[in-house]
Structure 1
């Protein structure tokens, strides 16, 4: 356990990044419990992703949790007028791609690619995804990460650190269009 804590401390100490991460995940504001997209298990996963991003030292916007940019230890920012405005000021879109694809996530990924934002996709390779997911790379820089289906803390931390390292390069040296 102490090894896990020291890894966490290293990530927190090393990762004070000046990135704004838009967490794209199914939201009850866009989907209802009757459509079967958003479950209690998914709520836990989205919350764990948000916490891992905050632990890594980035500002996070998650329409599921807040209507402000949040940074761990620094309080909350000012209210964001809309999720689209948050995406406009984001440096990176970090998306959980579930099955079936949520209409809200599809819309947020559409915004991200239209704005040429780097996109990190947490995907389960065993699931067939909608064509929109398969063609995102034609428009924006995309890092697909196969995610641990057990959603272990170690796998989540690894995915977040890998994504943020990649985003640092993508934001610093954007691909030419």
Structure 2
């Protein structure tokens, strides 16, 4: 018998994934690094996709969790290029919100990338994120723990890759 995660890995089809999330504000100025628990959340998602054989683009790992920050022009250009090259965009917008991740969500949306957004249960998220499915191909994974993310991620990725375009939920007549 295969586990849920093993079955899901078989369904996973992206060749490349950009994994985004809060970064700059989470780096401790004394250590120059993100806290281990914050690193673990992002690293678990990266490892999930790598295990499935996907190429993973990620600024956190690329910049050594804060130890090797790139300049603003360098990281901006790289993130945009890597999001452009990815098959799917997966991000945790953050609580409190990460302005940089929200910019990346905008880029992915404008580029027409299938997206999976990881949102904390019970947290207040901006309407422009929670309403994004009206203009973009996005799935939301609501979570309390990293384990919940990993349980829901395979189906969410499968759904966004199985369709193209936004999921329009309005029943109003077009103008």
Question: TM-score scaled by structure 2?
Answer: 0.72
C-alpha distance in 2 between matches for 1:11 and 1:134: 25
How far the C-alpha of 1:32 sits from its partner, in A, is 4.0
- 1 CA distance for matches of 2:167 and 2:119? 26
- 1:33 paired residue number: 28
**In 2, Cα distance between equivalents of 1:110 and 1:40:** 28
Distance 2:105 2:22 in 1: 12
CA change 1:16–1:129 in 2 (3 A) is: closer
CA contact (8 A) 2:14 2:54 kept: yes
Q: How has the CA–CA distance of structure 1 residues 176 and 9 changed in structure 2, closer, same or farther, with 3 Å as cutoff?
A: closer
RMSD over aligned CA atoms reads 2.7
Equivalent residues of 1:16, 1:57 under 8 A apart? no
Gaps of 5+ in 2: 64-76, 169-175
CA 135–7 in structure 1, closer or farther in 2 if over 3 Å, else same: closer
Determine the structure 1 residue equivalent to 2:160. Answer: 167
Q: Distance in 2 between matches of 1:32 and 1:26?
A: 9
Structure 1 contact 123–145 (Cα < 8 Å) conserved: yes
Query: 1:19, 1:58 within 8 Å by CA — same for their partners in 2?
Result: yes
Whole-Å Cα distance in 1 between the matches of residues 35 and 127 of structure 2?
24
* CA displacement 1:119-142 (0-9 Å, x = unmatched): 111111300012331332232111
TM-score scaled by structure 1? 0.71
Does residue 121 (structure 1) correspond to residue 117 (structure 2)? The answer is yes
> Which secondary structure state, in structure 1, belongs to the residue aligned with residue 145 of structure 2?
coil
Query: How far is the alpha carbon of 1:88 from its aligned partner?
Result: 0.9
Number of positions where the alignment pairs a residue of Structure 1 with one of Structure 2: 151
Q: Which has the larger radius of gyration?
A: 2
Q: Which residue of 2 aligns with 1:23?
A: 19
- Which of 1 and 2 has higher RCO (CA within 8 Å, sep 6+)? 2
